[in-house]
A and B are shown apart, each in its own frame.
Chain A
Amino acid sequence: MTAFGALLRRELLRQARQPTRIIASVGTPALIWIFFAAGFTSINLGMDTSMRTFLVPGIASMTVLFASVFGAISLIQDRQDGFLRAALVSPAPRLSIAGAKIAAGALIATLQGLIVLLILPLTGAPVTALGLLGAAGILALISAALIGLGLTLAWRVDSTSGFHGVMNTVLMPLWLLSGAVFPIETAAPWLSTLAKANPLTWAHEAMRHALGMNPDANHTLAWAITIAASLAGAAAATATIGRSRD
């Protein structure tokens, strides 16, 4: 088995042996969807899609956000436990350390996101296999982007409690400002402009287009920006992990 394969297996075993983490990653967003959908039930934002349907892709990306947070925290724990140093002094390519964390995190996050997307039929929205396949692709790309970003930020943070500050000031605003919970077209112009600079906004556009919720979206541009963001996130993490923190 290659170093990458062995590290990937480790990450997946760790995930499988922490079932409460998996439940929390899906359960919390599902609860948030229930509360938001119930809370916004009488709000009409002038869309063809109901608010409860509109929220589902955003909630699916929230599971990815949580996966990125857990991935970043696992990097901090690996450093605290000494595992990371043992891996860094081994002949294993440093690329494989970040690569395994991103690959395992993206795999788990995509599966969790797909579970959340299964809410869609409950909202009355038509879902096709092709639509789910496209959404899974976007979820995988968002995972790579957010987990890469999370790992990059976590590299300079010494404690898991310190990373919660990073999450609250960087990752959560990034998600909130992405059309996850409200359509950016009807937002204040300044907010809409800001949201369009956020790659996650375009990922939501692409996912909603794949699921047939936004047929007029510029999906080619949305996919291109999402792919670029995922490559940037993964590249940032692989370039950062292994670099001296002194």
Chain B
Amino acid sequence: MPAIDLTNITAGYPGKPRPALSGVTLRADRETVALLGPNGSGKSTLMRVLTGLHTPEAGRVVAPNDRADFSVVFQSPAVDDLLTVRENLTLAAALHGANKAAANRRIEALTDPLGLADILGTRCATLSGGQRRRADLARALMPAPKVLVLDEPTTGLDIDARARFWQTLDSIRATEQLTVLLATHLADEAERCDRVALLREGGLIADASPSELRAPLGERAARIDLRPGHSDQPVRTWIDACDADARWWSAGAIIPNADARLIDTCPMDHATISLGAPTLEDAYLWHTAEESVAIT
């Protein structure tokens, strides 16, 4: 049985006309799955359903029976600023039923991979953003969970701290059998995952590996970004003339299998164009595009 097994989940909130989730099915086992989608797409609700904080109106949730097998890293660190890192970790272990000796053994095991040695005795209020994140990840890993849920875990971190966070998580994943579910709106973080589930307006619109999501764009894609304050009509006319199978997103377009000569004809006064191997961000814009302007 998969560690995470969500079938046909529909969930909403009172007073909201549209359900936050509509018929979402998702499974994961000993892999890292990213939930990628715009704000309001249902990522957080899916996390809440999975962790038991929100009861769905319909569907089946199969998650680890024992809540000790679950841990969550939230958007903001859930460590207590008035306690030291060690006190926070001991508390997390106690909440999962571990005694002090077991907690100390686990802290020892996590100290090196998470780089905690220098901060164990430090109150969390005085830690840097990156250190607090590592302390929070250690808190979540204290019960040695089978499923780790990460809800936009690098929000507010600088580039260096983000890179360190992912290095740390990768080293943990190398040694522990973890199923990781990551909610993010950052394509480069989703790129690190085995699979990416794309959500839009509460529905699951794609569930595939990053390379499979990029496949429809071919070997080279053109990304068109409209210049602010300029009409999109000249760009639409140009794409019509190019006979390109483009899809529009809110501020531009993506053209798959793009010809390098597009650069020569793009109306640069109205848009910029970048051409290259498609990124997951291009694929995300392609799959979540609301308007398809396939032109023949």
User: Once the chains bind, are B72 and A85 in contact (CB under 8 Å)?
Assistant: yes
Let me know if A83 is at the binding interface, CB within 8 A. Answer: yes
Q: Give residues of chain B (241-290) contacting chain A, Cβ–Cβ below 8 Å.
A: none
From residue B11, how far is it (CB to closest CB) to chain A in Å?
9
Residues on A with beta carbons closer than 8 Å to the beta carbon of B100:
1
Q: In the complex the two chains form, what is the Cα distance from A91 to B244 in whole Å?
A: 54
Q: In the complex the two chains form, what is the Cα distance from A105 to B76 in whole Å?
A: 26
Q: Give residues of chain A (50-104) contacting chain B, Cβ–Cβ below 8 Å.
A: 81-83, 85-92
Stretch at the interface among A13-21, A22-30, A123-131, A224-232: A13-21
Let me know if A10 is at the binding interface, CB within 8 A. Answer: yes
User: Once the chains bind, are B78 and A86 in contact (CB under 8 Å)?
Assistant: yes
User: Once the chains bind, are A91 and B82 in contact (CB under 8 Å)?
Assistant: no
Let me know if B25 is at the binding interface, CB within 8 A. Answer: no
User: Once the chains bind, are B83 and A86 in contact (CB under 8 Å)?
Assistant: no
Let me know if B184 is at the binding interface, CB within 8 A. Answer: no
Chain B 90-101 against A: per-residue CB contact (8 Å), 1 yes, 0 no?
111011110110
Which residue of the partner chain, among B13, B71, B94, B140, contacts A3 with CB atoms under 8 Å?
A: B94
Stretch at the interface among B49-57, B197-205, B215-223: B49-57
Residues on B with beta carbons closer than 8 Å to the beta carbon of A2:
94
Which residue of the partner chain, among A13, A17, A81, A246, contacts B76 with CB atoms under 8 Å?
A: A81
Residue of B nearest to A5 (CB): B94
Which residue of the partner chain, among A3, A89, A91, A246, contacts B66 with CB atoms under 8 Å?
A: A91
Q: In the complex the two chains form, what is the Cα distance from A89 to B71 in whole Å?
A: 8
Q: In the complex the two chains form, what is the Cα distance from A91 to B90 in whole Å?
A: 15
Q: Give residues of chain A (195-245) contacting chain B, Cβ–Cβ below 8 Å.
A: 244
Q: In the complex the two chains form, what is the Cα distance from A3 to B68 in whole Å?
A: 13
User: Once the chains bind, are A3 and B95 in contact (CB under 8 Å)?
Assistant: yes
Given A89-B67, A244-B54, A82–B78 Cβ distance below 8 Å?
yes
Let me know if B87 is at the binding interface, CB within 8 A. Answer: yes
Which residue of the partner chain, among A10, A87, A244, contacts B83 with CB atoms under 8 Å?
A: A10
From residue B73, how far is it (CB to closest CB) to chain A in Å?
9
User: Once the chains bind, are B67 and A86 in contact (CB under 8 Å)?
Assistant: no
User: Once the chains bind, are B72 and A86 in contact (CB under 8 Å)?
Assistant: yes
From residue A139, how far is it (CB to closest CB) to chain B in Å?
25
Let me know if A47 is at the binding interface, CB within 8 A. Answer: no
Residues on B with beta carbons closer than 8 Å to the beta carbon of A9:
91
User: Once the chains bind, are A85 and B53 in contact (CB under 8 Å)?
Assistant: yes
Let me know if A170 is at the binding interface, CB within 8 A. Answer: no
Q: In the complex the two chains form, what is the Cα distance from A42 to B100 in whole Å?
A: 60
Residue of A nearest to B94 (CB): A6
Q: In the complex the two chains form, what is the Cα distance from A120 to B21 in whole Å?
A: 62
Q: How many A-B contacts if CB must be within 8 Å?
A: 81
Q: In the complex the two chains form, what is the Cα distance from A181 to B77 in whole Å?
A: 44
User: Once the chains bind, are A82 and B95 in contact (CB under 8 Å)?
Assistant: no
User: Once the chains bind, are A1 and B94 in contact (CB under 8 Å)?
Assistant: yes
Residues on B with beta carbons closer than 8 Å to the beta carbon of A7:
91, 95
Residue of B nearest to A85 (CB): B74
Residues on A with beta carbons closer than 8 Å to the beta carbon of B53:
85, 88-89, 244
Q: In the complex the two chains form, what is the Cα distance from A246 to B81 in whole Å?
A: 27
Q: In the complex the two chains form, what is the Cα distance from A88 to B54 in whole Å?
A: 12
Residue of B nearest to A13 (CB): B83
Q: Give residues of chain B (1-31) contacting chain A, Cβ–Cβ below 8 Å.
A: 13-14
Residue of B nearest to A18 (CB): B82
Residues on A with beta carbons closer than 8 Å to the beta carbon of B74:
82, 85-86
Which residue of the partner chain, among B78, B87, B139, contacts A81 with CB atoms under 8 Å?
A: B78
Q: In the complex the two chains form, what is the Cα distance from A244 to B95 in whole Å?
A: 20
User: Once the chains bind, are A90 and B67 in contact (CB under 8 Å)?
Assistant: yes
User: Once the chains bind, are A82 and B77 in contact (CB under 8 Å)?
Assistant: yes
Residues on A with beta carbons closer than 8 Å to the beta carbon of B75:
82
From residue A74, how far is it (CB to closest CB) to chain B in Å?
10
Chain B 123-143 against A: per-residue CB contact (8 Å), 1 yes, 0 no?
000000000000000011001
User: Once the chains bind, are B97 and A91 in contact (CB under 8 Å)?
Assistant: yes
Residue of A nearest to B52 (CB): A89
Residues on A with beta carbons closer than 8 Å to the beta carbon of B108:
none
From residue B152, how far is it (CB to closest CB) to chain A in Å?
12
Residues on B with beta carbons closer than 8 Å to the beta carbon of A1:
94, 99-100
Residue of A nearest to B51 (CB): A89
User: Once the chains bind, are A6 and B91 in contact (CB under 8 Å)?
Assistant: yes
Residues on A with beta carbons closer than 8 Å to the beta carbon of B82:
13-14, 17-18
User: Once the chains bind, are A90 and B95 in contact (CB under 8 Å)?
Assistant: yes
User: Once the chains bind, are B81 and A81 in contact (CB under 8 Å)?
Assistant: yes
Interface of A with B (CB < 8 Å)?
1-3, 5-7, 9-10, 13-14, 17-18, 81-83, 85-92, 244, 246
Interface of B with A (CB < 8 Å)?
13-14, 51-55, 66-68, 70-72, 74-83, 87, 90-92, 94-97, 99-100, 139-140, 143
CB pairs A–B below 8 angstroms (6 shown): A3-B94, A10-B83, A81-B78, A86-B95, A89-B52, A92-B94
Nearest 3 CB-CB pairings of A with B: A6-B94, A82-B78, A86-B78
